[in-house]
Amino acid sequence: MSDGLQMPASASLPFVHARSVARRFRNGSEILDVLRDVNLDVTEGEAIAISGESGCGKSTLLGIIGGLDRPSGGRVIVGGADITAWDEAALSRYRNREIGFIFQFHFLLKDFTALENVTIPAMLGKESAKVVKARARDLLAEVGLADRLNAWPLELSGGERQRVAVARALMNDPRLLLADEPTGNLDERNAAVVEDLLFDLARRRRRTLVLVTHDSSLAARADTRYVLASGVLATP
């Protein structure tokens, strides 16, 4: 990739390779070790789930892998590149080009239509508006919302909003999807729809999926499961 962002292929390392990752926070005189010694390997195209109690550091770990936060110690290598060594400009490009984020809340802009919300990640690129909108239409059709392109977020149901968020996460065709409690705000029926969609899209597109959840049934659908407790990641 250009503009100083290099994601070289690596024959010796998994697609996501985290070693001895630590994250501590200071609260006055108190130091809280949220992550102590996290090691994680995720092969390209694999879907993994990380579960654990609320406040155990699941979202913190996901943020470090996604370049939203920096570890206090350790290294995270994605696609052969040590993202912990990058400056903020490189991390910003990494987040935009290589990562598709899906959060518990959809974070759609209320003054943008579904179609316009999906195009947002591509706004910094050099493609024409026509090409970008065509890809956004295709993605909305893929998540079952071909007839809701011009709907405002307030006109969409909770499940539909989350499906728009999934389409937006795929806009730049990222290699890595990071999902943080992606069905946490949905009722059982809509949660099932979004779960099916997320795993199906990741597998059909051969994209790597890392999701964090407290939902054991959702975690069970992943290829590999981990539990985060006392700052350490382990298999259940």
Model confidence over 134-170: pLDDT tens digits?
A: 999 999 999 999 999 999 999 999 999 999 999 999 9
Regarding the domain with residue range 47-68+91-234, which homologous superfamily does it belong to in the CATH classification? P-loop containing nucleotide triphosphate hydrolases (3.40.50.300)
pLDDT of residue 33: 86
Q: What is the mean pLDDT of the chain?
A: 90
Short-list 187, 169, 189, CA closest to 179: 169
**Comparing C-alpha atoms, which of 120, 186, 128 is closest to residue 159?**
186
Q: Taking the complete model, does pTM exceed 0.85, yes or no?
A: yes
Please name the helix (run of DSSP H) or strand (run of DSSP E) that holds residue 65, with its range, or none: helix 58-65
Residues 105-135: tens digit of each pLDDT:
899 999 999 999 999 999 877 788 999 999 9
Domain residue spans of the chain: 47-68+91-234
Residues of the chain with pLDDT > 70, as a percent, come to 95
Beta bridge partners of 149: none
Task: Say if CB 171 and CB 121 are below 8 A apart.
Answer: yes
